[in-house]
Every structure is written in C-alpha cells, then in structure tokens.
Chains A and B, each alone.
Chain A
C-alpha cells in the first residue's frame, strides 16, 4: 500500500499515457522544470519533443494543440493558473469545441486542457483565484473536476483517450489530498458520478475539494443526520440519473459549489431536480461564491467569499430541520 498524492496521480496518468500512445504530447510553460506539479520527470523520460516547453503564448499553443490533434496527435495542454482559461476561451470554446459539429463530423479534436491548481490559492488575489468550471459546462465542453487522487488519475487518463476536447480542473484545495492506493490505478469513465458516502436524510452534492468538506460535515453530523455525499466528478456530461436516484431516496438536497451563484453549477443541479418533479421534504439549498464574486487579496476576505464547511453544515441542518 502506498500513499498517492493528487499531484502525483496527475503526473502518473500523464506518464502512463505518454508511454502507452506515441501520439500523446504536452504543451505548456515550465514543463521541464515541472513547476506546477503536473510534469516532473516527464521531459527527461519522454524528451523535449513530446513534453514541449512553450514561450508565454497561451492562445497560440492552445490552438496549436488543436492543429496537432487534427493531424492525428493527442495533445495535452497545461495552464499554470485558471484565469488563463479566460484568455483561451476562444481557442477552447469557439475553435476546438465547435469543429466536430461545424465540419459535419469529419474530424474530432482530442485535446485535453489541464489546470492543476484551480480556485483560491490563498493570497493570490483577483486574477489567480478563479474556478471557471461552470463556464465550460455551460458551453458544453467536457468538464472534469476530480476530488481524489484515484479519480484524478482515472479521469485524466479518460480525458486523454477521449475523442473530444476536455478541460480538467485540479482544485488547489485538493492538490494536497493523499490516498492509500492498493492495486492498479484504473481509468474513470467520463459522465459517471461517485457516491462517497451513503445516507438517508439529505443528498449533499459536492465537487472537487468540496467533496472533502462535505465528507467532514457528514462525519461531524453523524449519527444525528445521515448525509449522502454525491460527487458528480464530471460536470459536463453530468450524471443526472444518479443524482435523481440519490435525491429520490433522501428527499432533501444541498449543493456546495465553488463557482459564482448566478448561472453556476448549483443552480443547474437544483433546477434539474425541480424539473424532474422529485418530491422534496424541504426547500433545496445551495452554498456558493456570491453572485459575480472576485476573490479579494486579504485572507479573511478571500475566505469570506468561498463556500466553507460552516456554511455547508448550516445549510444541511437547515434542510433537515425544516421538516
């Protein structure tokens, strides 16, 4: 049994896929040095021709990866900070995502975009602390948000093998998570949710690092409250069937979501359950960043706009005590 960290899991997934498929290659900044933890050791092992240190040209190398994909390769692009996704929204959402449909299915674009260190990094302030997964789910780009090292490994492997563009967010809050691993690491299918903990009183939908907060709250409240922790793992496509089954069993719904409230993931989850007509014993609740939030610098302010364990506990208790 070995302890596997989240960052090491991503690194191992990339190494395994580079070894398995000669079409896999990586573009990004400071890859050789392994600055953001995704690529340590990979350039030495696979060469600078496949693990390509790029100049600071995110827009160009994002679409360059698309061009390489159209020519039969399977590129992975790494971004060191999540806000760079705003810079390359054109290249991902408007080019890579659309090309399959616009060409009438003549070609697909198997490019994987990875952001190890998404969300607040405590003190990195406004332009380094976004967690823009809801934007990509809204557009319909396949969007993955693994919470654990084994899921990080399995989802990155699936993303690289997927024929479509995929964005994988590794939340800063999960990068330090370690897990005991026995046996082989396996691919995790895109679009399949994971129940981390079964419960009968309330379904808590949590994604990314917030899964660990939800598990902590569930532990704290047991045995008075039986909390089911539902992790979609992939936000687009979303495993609605599993969600409906869980909420159907518990009859209560709380969503914790580290994106802004307006048009965010939590809004979608609650709407989907309401539309499905699943009878709820209490009003659904959501814990999110505020509408239109930008993370301020001072640590107290940074924390104040992020969903946290206290807010989640209060929301769960309010849902359970409502009826």
Chain B
C-alpha cells in the first residue's frame, strides 16, 4: 500500500521539483546534452496518479517524462546518470531524457513521439487481462496528443475491450507553443465520452485531488470495469524544452505564468504538513539530489565500440559502418 498522506505526496513532488531544477542546472553547464523537457509545475499529476498504482502496475510516459518515472519509483541517481549519458544510467546511456525506462518498476518507457505510448499501454493492459494478473496500466500524455489519430484509435480499442487502462491527459495548455484553445475542437473529456469511457476533469495542481480521482479509476480498472480518462488541468512553468531559453521564445505572458505559479502544487500540499515536517523533507531531498549528482557525474561513459549493443535481443551485430566500429 502506498503512502498517500500529504507528507508522502509532498516528498515525491519535492523530489521531482528538485531533480528537475538540478537537471536544468546541468543543461546550462553542458553536462546534459540535448536538453530536457522540464516537468516543473506538473508534479501533482505524476505523484497523484502513481500514488494510486501498485508496484506491479505499469505506465507509459511522454517526452516530458521525468516526473512519471521518478513518481513510479526510479532511483534519482540512476535517472540522472541516464540524463548525463552514463553507463550507470537506467538505460545504460542509450535512452536519455526522452526514453528513460525501468522495466522492473513497470515503467515501459517515456516516448519521444506524441501519443505513441497510449497503444503500448493498452497492449500491456490487454495482456494483463489475458494473463489474469489484475495489473493496471496508466498512460500519460499531453493535450497535444488529443489530436493524434493513434490515441483516438486506442481509446476505441480500450473502450471496446474494457481494458484496464487509466488514460491521463496532462492538459498544460500548450502543445509546444500552440495553445490548446487553438488546437482542440470539442474537448478532452468529449474525446473519452465519444468512446464510452468514463471521464473526469481534475485540478492538476492538487496532488490529493488527482490521487483521489486516479484511485477511483484504478479501482474501476481493477474490478473489470474497463478504462477511465482523467483530464488534469495543469501548467508547466518552464518552456516546452530547455532550448526555448536559448532562443528566447515567447508565447505566454508573464502574468499567465505567474498566475499559475501562485497555485503551486508543492506549496499547496506543504500547507497541510506539520511544523518542521517540510524542512525535514526538503533537507532529505537536497541530500539525495546532491548524492545523485555525484553518482551521475562519476559514472563511466559508455564504450563507443558498444554503440549498437542491445539493438537486437538475440545479440545480432550489424555490419560495421562509419564511424562506429562495432567490436566483434
């Protein structure tokens, strides 16, 4: 049974926030190449949903996946080692920010293609039904995915076959720079309703509210009542990608960002904690992150001769090309 009280929810959100702040710092210093898609502001969604999942349950994530992966229990230090491209990373430096996965924790992978995780989640859920495992699968995606055909196809199959999936739409208002009002005809909830899937909207800045809604959905899935759909209204404080800072992209007003920041999910949950509790958690997480940075940066870089290792599960080695000489 997960801890779902305010202290546990706050701790998990604090971990994600601090991890992300540290990742931003490492992007600035060049330790993380390629940048990241920061999750800061959306922590309540990952934490609320994952608190409703059991250890055997699974999830698929998005290109903005750090929060989901950490909330499901991935080790921060191995996650940071992955982001810095180290052999000691979750994916041995082969996946990076957009593909972080820990299969032992049921994390089937973040995904660089919008909407692509949904049918994978549905397939794992289909297998769970066939295997009688009682497993539930959460599929995270953003508002941008609402317009991807494959997501709509997946909603149809999940509704038709009553798959134990929890579709979690993190509506942060923007698909890269395109405002949701300029992108979505109808509504997120309407998408689900069209396929007979129970849907509700929840305040994505409130971890307890997300958790309560997710717990209801997981219970429905677990008892054979099929998929559910949650639209979590949330916001990312940072850009779509860290590259935005460099090119000074502007598509949101300062007032809009500040208005959402005033509803910060960490502050909201921290208000429920006993005196001193927050400081103790903050201190614990700060130490954890400092240790993670040390672990990540001390890790060895993968051997370039093994650049295509793991391409095939049966060990098939591709012919050497240029410039990589695959060791034989």
| Interfacial residues, chain A to chain B (CB-CB below 8 A) | 25, 49, 54-55, 57, 59-73, 75, 90-91, 94-95, 99-110, 140, 142, 162-164, 191, 237, 240
Contact = CB atoms under 8 A, between A and B. Distances in A.
Given A63-B119, A64-B154, A73-B127, A102 B109 contact: yes
Contact of B122 (A67, A73, A106, A107): A67
A311 B108 CA distance: 50
Interface stretch (B84-92, B219-227, B270-278): B84-92
B129 to A, nearest CB: 9
Contacts of B93: 104
23 contacts: A55-B157, A59-B150, A62-B119, A63-B119, A63-B123, A63-B150, A64-B157, A65-B123, A67-B60, A67-B123, A70-B103, A71-B58, A94-B113, A95-B116, A101-B94, A101-B308, A102-B91, A104-B89, A104-B93, A142-B312, A163-B313, A164-B312, A191-B316
Given A65-B123, A103-B94, A104-B89, 7 more contacts: A57-B153, A60-B150, A66-B120, A71-B58, A95-B113, A107-B103, A163-B312
B131 A103 contact: no
B130 A49 contact: yes
A150 to B, nearest CB: 23
A91 B119 CA distance: 10
Nearest to B311: A101
B157 A54 contact: yes
B218 interface: no
The listed residue with most B CB atoms (<10 A of its CB), out of A64, A110, A140, A163, is A64
B95 A100 contact: no
B130 A70 contact: no
Given A63-B150, A102-B95, A70 B313 contact: no
Contact of A106 (B101, B125, B137, B318): B101
A102 B99 contact: yes
A63 B123 CA distance: 7
Given A108-B313, A140-B311, A237-B316, A70 B95 contact: no
Contacts of B311: 100-101, 140
A70 B108 contact: yes
Contact of B156 (A57, A75, A94, A103): A57
A49 B124 CA distance: 15
A298 B160 CA distance: 41
A162 B94 contact: no
A42 B105 CA distance: 36
Contacts of A237: 316
Contacts of B309: 101, 105
Interface in B103-117: 103-104, 108-109, 111, 113, 116
A140 B312 CA distance: 10
Contacts of A66: 119-120, 123
A72 B131 contact: yes
B64 to A, nearest CB: 17
Interface in B136-150: 137, 149-150
Contact of A67 (B104, B127, B310): B127
B131 A71 contact: yes
The 4 closest A-B CB pairs, nearest first, are A67-B123, A108-B313, A104-B92, A71-B127
Given A63-B116, A90-B116, A106 B102 contact: yes
Interface string B291-328: 00000000000000000111111101011000000000
A90 B60 CA distance: 17
Contact of A164 (B91, B99, B314): B314
A61 B157 contact: yes
A60 B139 CA distance: 14
Contact of B130 (A60, A73, A100, A240): A73
B126 interface: yes
Contacts of A105: 92, 94, 309-310, 313
Contact of A103 (B101, B127, B153, B154): B101
Contacts of A110: 313
B289 interface: no
Given A57-B153, A103-B95, A103-B101, A67 B313 contact: no
Nearest to A108: B313
Given A60-B154, A102-B94, A104-B90, A67 B314 contact: no
Nearest to B319: A240
